[in-house]
Amino acid sequence: IRSDSSQVINESIPEIYTKATEMRQVYKKIDNLEAFVKMIGNCVAGMEERVIKAETDLGAFPSTFKKILHTISMPSFLNKSSSSRQQTPYEPPVLFKTEDYFPCLNEAPY
């Protein structure tokens, strides 16, 4: 029993400690990846909001319907509503760069 105990103390515990240290690095990478995925989710949600707003402001008719509607003569009072809307100038969204989070992508392939 003493030899088994000393083997556990002398061999197994240092191995367990080494593996635990390695796992802390893995956990940190997982935490960073979770934060990255959350940031991407927020960017996508913001982009979806902008698309929905643009579709609401500008209309989301497919181009075929637009062509058909343009060939039909519309009374002038129907056209005024679209021209009276004020359009805000387009501001492109701030996008993230993958290279900022994965610098290895900038390196040349092997």
Q: Supply the pTM of this predicted model.
A: 0.57
Name the stretches of the chain with pLDDT < 50.
82-84
Report the pLDDT value the prediction gives residue 54, as an integer from 0 to 100: 84
Contact 22, 87 (CB under 8 A): no
Six-digit token string for 47: 């982009």
What is d(CA 82, CA 66) in angstroms, rounded to the nearest whole number? 14
| DSSP annotation of 62 | -
What is d(CA 79, CA 1) in angstroms, rounded to the nearest whole number? 94
pLDDT tens per residue, range 32-64: 999 999 999 999 999 999 889 888 887 766 666
Domain ranges of the chain: 2-82+92-106
- If we measure between CA atoms, which residue out of 17, 41, 39, 26 comes closest to residue 101? 39
